[in-house]
Amino acid sequence: MKLKIVHTDKAPAAVGPYSQGVSAGNLLFVSGQMPFNTETGEMVRGNVEDETRQCLENVKAILEEAGTSLENVVKATVFIRDMDQFDRINKVYGEYFNDHKPARACVEVSRLPKDVNVEIEMIAVV
């Protein structure tokens, strides 16, 4: 099986030995996206809703670059720093996934890169 690396300037560049996304057959694996805004060059800070929205916009840009969309996501993993923020994160997540509801895990972690509050990765069908 041939792997295809997916890259877009509309999402944060990989800062280590990984890719924004990798397509394998008809599946796309999107690396965890943090709330970095490529237009401003700044990490989104302030509230977890804005951070979540930016993470989802970054994932969306990678999906679109690969020729797919949020409607084709089959699995999402949401990493959060504080489970007490679950409802706030979930509300924003629901704006992106209302009729289509992929499988999902939400995991509290002790720390995320750059001390962000949320990071989101996905698997989609291309």
Domain that holds residue 67: 3-125
Portion of the chain with pLDDT greater than 90, in percent: 95
Q: For the chain, what is the domain count? A: 1
The span from the CA of 6 to the CA of 64, in Å, is 10
Q: What is the pTM of this model?
A: 0.96
Residue 80's alpha-carbon distances to 39, 83, 104, in angstroms, are 24, 7, 13
Closest to 8 (Cα-Cα) out of 44, 50, 57: 57
Q: How confident is the model at residue 1 (pLDDT cuts 50, 70, 90)?
A: confident
- Contact residues for 26 (Cβ-Cβ < 8 A; gap 6+): 125, 126
Catalytic residue numbers, as ranges: 106
Q: Give the domain CATH number at 45.
A: 3.30.1330.40
Return the pLDDT at 15. Answer: 81
Give the number of C-alpha atoms closer than 13 A to the C-alpha of residue 19, restricted to the C-beta side: 16
